[in-house]
Structure 1
Amino acid sequence: MFDFFYSNLSYIGLFIVSFLSSTLLPLASEAFVVAFVKFDFDPTLVLLTATLANTLGSLSTYALAYFGKEKILQKYFASSLKKLENYTLNFYKLGWLFAFLSFLPLVGDLFALGLGFAKYPLIKTAFFIALGKLSRYFFLISLSS
C-alpha cells in the first residue's frame, strides 16, 4: 500500500516541479527527472509526466502574453516587454523554431512569452513546444539510464 502512494504521489510531485520550472520560476526539472530515473521509476512515465507538465507550463506563459493585460505585463516584465515587441515579427516568422527551443534554460520562457505576444497559432506552438521538451527529456533519460 505504501508503494502505491509513494509512486503515485511522486509522479504528482514531478508534475508540479516540471510545470513550475517551465513558467517564469527558476527551477531545474532536469535534476528531478534524472533523480526519478536513478531511483528506478518507470522511465516512460517519467518522460510523459515531465513532458506534459513542462509543456503546459510553457503554454501558461504563452497564454499570459497572448491574453494578458498589458499593464500586468509591463509591471512585471517591463524590460523584456520592450525587447519582445521589437522581435514580434521574427517570432511569428520563425515561431516553430522558437517553440521547439523553448526547452532552453532562461531564454525558453522568453520564447514562450514572445510567441504569445506575436499571437503565434496555439496548435503549432503546443506541438513544437512539446516536441522540444520531449526531445530534451528523452535525451536526459537516455543518458541517465
Structure 2
Amino acid sequence: MGYFLEFGFLGLFVSAFLAATILPLSSEIVMTGLLLQGLSPWILIIVATTGNVAGSLLNYALGYWASLGVIKKWLRISEEEFIKAEQRFKKYGVFSLFFSWVPIIGDPLTVMAGILRIRLVWFLLLVATGKCLRYLVVYYMVLQAS
C-alpha cells in the first residue's frame, strides 16, 4: 500500500478504483496514510469515492455487456457468490446497492446490477452514497485516533 501513498491523490484514486474490482486492495489504508500525511480530508473523500464508484461502474458495465461465463471467469465470482448476489437483489431490490462497499458481497452486487439492467441513475446514486459514507467513517475514525 505504501506504493500508492507516494502518488497522493492519484494513488488513492487508483487504489480505490482497483479495490472496487477484482483486486483485493484496501483503499481505506491508503486514505488513512494520506490523512495522516495531512492531505485535505474532503478532497481525499471525494477522490476515494470517485475512484471506488468508477471501479463499481466497470463491474456494472461488465454485467451489462459481458456473458455470464466471462463475468464469472474474469471477476472470479463463484457460482455460489453469483447466486447469493442474485438472491440479495431479489430480497432487497435495488437498495441493496447501498451496501456495495461491503467486502466480498459488494463486487457481485455491482455486477448483478448490470446484468439486471438496473437504471444507471439509481446505481450511481446508491453506490456513491454508500461508498462516500464509508470514507466519511474512515475519516472520522482517523480523526478520533489522532
Gaps in structure 1 of 5+ consecutive residues: 1-6
TM-score in terms of structure 2 length: 0.83
The one-letter code sitting in structure 2 at the alignment partner of 1:54 is: N
1:112 aligns with 2:85: no
Question: Which of the numbers 121, 124, 129 marks the counterpart of 2:122?
Answer: 124
Root mean square deviation of aligned Cα: 2.4
Match of 1:4 in 2: none
Aligned-residue offset at 1:79: 1.6
TM-score (norm 1): 0.83
Larger radius of gyration: 1
Aligned-residue identity in percent:
26
AA of the residue aligned to 2:79: S
2:83 alignment partner AA: K
**Cα 1:39–1:143, aligned 2, differ >3 Å: closer, same or farther?**
same
Match of 1:31 among 26, 29, 50: 29
**Residue matched to 1:90:** 90
Separation in structure 2 between the aligned mates of residue 124 and residue 73 of structure 1, nearest angstrom: 22
Q: How many residues align?
A: 137
Residue 66 of structure 1 deviates from its aligned partner by 1.0
Deviation at 1:85, TM superposition (A): 8.4
Deviation at 1:88?
Answer: 8.2
**What is the CA distance between 1:71 and its match in structure 2?**
3.8
Could you say what secondary structure the match of 1:87 adopts?
Answer: helix
